[in-house]
């Protein structure tokens, strides 16, 4: 790559695989400009992914920082076995998984969606549900009315893992099946199985009476994960 590569050139670097390889080469040289572009390009989607996959959405910002620290430290070990985007998302999901395990060991309970977590500007309370809203608009945000989107977000958080993460990657983040399989480290059959179960669970949550919005289990959801694709 030429030494005078600009941010405009970097912005197009992910369009084609050879250009992505050039971007990776820049990152591996320690280019501050390349890392600045990478963070600007991926921070919002990674933050959104983490906020939807961890038990405590307030941890998402810190986890996002951890993800990019690991990207910075691990970029020399990236050899193009997958796309750069897939590799970054895999790191993010690993951080989310570690945080969920910590949560289960130390908290053993979920934060109610209406719980007050801090005081905002003017002393107004900030609720957990407020933190589920992305600061930036996305196609997903535009597609759903605000009230409906909040309801979907709340229901999505009740979908058990690994079905929730698979739904997020495929239906919200827009990864193709093969990319979801690569990120999660499973085969295509397992991805499709998780999507079917996850979508069924989400539909049941959204159509359940308001007084009984928690779905403990759906038929087949209790199967061991190893049985999913069989």
- Domain end: 61, 93, 112, which one? 112
Exposed/middle/buried for residue 73 (C-beta within 10 Å: 0-12, 13-18, 19+): exposed
Task: Let me know if residue 1 belongs to a domain.
Answer: no
Q: Does residue 132 carry a pLDDT above 60?
A: no
Q: Does residue 225 carry a pLDDT above 90?
A: no
146 with 219, same domain: the answer is: yes
What is residue 127's predicted lDDT score, i.e. its pLDDT? 56
**Banded pLDDT at 193 (limits 50, 70, 90):** very high
Task: Let me know if residue 179 belongs to a domain.
Answer: yes
Q: Which CATH number does the domain housing residue 182 bear? A: 1.10.10.10
152 with 87, same domain: the answer is: no
DSSP 3-state of 117: strand
Q: Does residue 70 carry a pLDDT above 60?
A: yes
**pLDDT tens-digit map of 72-113:** 999 999 988 889 999 999 999 999 888 877 766 655 444 454
Q: Which domain holds residue 166?
A: 142-230
42 with 108, same domain: the answer is: yes
Mean pLDDT of the chain: 75
19 with 108, same domain: the answer is: yes
How many other β-carbons are positioned within 10 Å of the β-carbon of residue 45? Answer: 20
pTM of the predicted model over 0.85: no
Task: Let me know if residue 134 belongs to a domain.
Answer: no
- The whole-angstrom separation of Cα 18 and Cα 94 is 27
Contacts (Cβ under 8 Å, ≥6 apart) of 163: 194, 195, 197, 198, 201, 221
Q: What is the mean pLDDT of residues 15-19?
A: 49
Q: What is the mean pLDDT of residues 168-195?
A: 92
151 with 108, same domain: the answer is: no
In this structure, which long-range contacts are made by residues 140-143, counting pairs with CB atoms below 8 Å and at least 24 apart in sequence?
A: 140/172
DSSP 3-state of 83: coil
190 with 230, same domain: the answer is: yes
- Domain end: 112, 133, 150, which one? 112
Task: Let me know if residue 106 belongs to a domain.
Answer: yes
Q: Does residue 54 carry a pLDDT above 70?
A: yes
In this structure, which long-range contacts are made by residues 187-192, counting pairs with CB atoms below 8 Å and at least 24 apart in sequence?
A: 187/229, 189/228, 189/229, 190/228, 190/229, 191/166
Q: Which CATH number does the domain housing residue 99 bear? A: 1.10.1740.10
22 with 108, same domain: the answer is: yes
Contacts (Cβ under 8 Å, ≥6 apart) of 16: none
- The whole-angstrom separation of Cα 193 and Cα 196 is 5
Task: Let me know if residue 121 belongs to a domain.
Answer: no
Q: Does residue 65 carry a pLDDT above 80?
A: yes
Q: What is the mean pLDDT of residues 11-35?
A: 74
What is residue 8's predicted lDDT score, i.e. its pLDDT? 44
What is residue 181's predicted lDDT score, i.e. its pLDDT? 93
Q: Does residue 173 carry a pLDDT above 70?
A: yes
Task: Let me know if residue 129 belongs to a domain.
Answer: no
- Domains in the chain: how many in total? 2
107 with 160, same domain: the answer is: no
CA quadruple 70, 90, 109, 193: dihedral, nearest 10: -170
7-11, 19-23, 25-29: least confident range: 7-11
61 with 149, same domain: the answer is: no
65 with 157, same domain: the answer is: no
Task: Let me know if residue 216 belongs to a domain.
Answer: yes
Q: Does residue 219 carry a pLDDT above 50?
A: no
Task: Let me know if residue 195 belongs to a domain.
Answer: yes
With a pLDDT cut of 70, the percent of the chain lying above it is 64
84 with 158, same domain: the answer is: no
What is residue 20's predicted lDDT score, i.e. its pLDDT? 85
Closest by CA position to 71, among listed 30, 22, 17: 30
Q: Does residue 195 carry a pLDDT above 70?
A: yes
């Amino acid at each position: 790559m030429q030494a005078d590569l600009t941010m405009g050139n970097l912005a197009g670097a992910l369009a084609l695989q050879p250009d992505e390889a050039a971007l990776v080469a820049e990152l591996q040289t320690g280019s501050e400009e390349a890392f600045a572009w990478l963070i600007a390009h991926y921070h919002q989607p990674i933050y959104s992914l983490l906020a939807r996959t961890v038990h405590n959405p307030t941890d998402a910002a810190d986890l996002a920082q951890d993800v990019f620290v690991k990207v910075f430290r691990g970029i020399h070990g990236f050899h193009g076995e997958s796309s750069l985007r897939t590799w970054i998302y895999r790191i993010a999901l690993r951080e989310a998984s570690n945080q969920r395990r910590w949560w289960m060991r130390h908290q053993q309970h979920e934060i109610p969606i209406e719980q007050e977590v801090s005081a905002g500007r003017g002393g107004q309370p900030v609720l957990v549900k407020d933190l589920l809203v992305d600061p930036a608009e996305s196609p997903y945000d535009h597609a759903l009315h605000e009230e409906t989107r909040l309801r979907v977000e709340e229901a999505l958080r009740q979908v058990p893992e690994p079905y929730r993460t698979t739904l997020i990657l495929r239906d919200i983040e827009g990864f193709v099946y093969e990319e979801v399989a690569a990120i999660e480290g499973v085969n295509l059959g397992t991805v499709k199985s998780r999507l079917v179960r996850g979508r069924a669970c989400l539909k049941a949550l959204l159509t359940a009476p308001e007084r009984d919005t928690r779905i403990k289990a759906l038929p087949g959801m209790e199967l061991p994960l190893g049985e999913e694709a069989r």
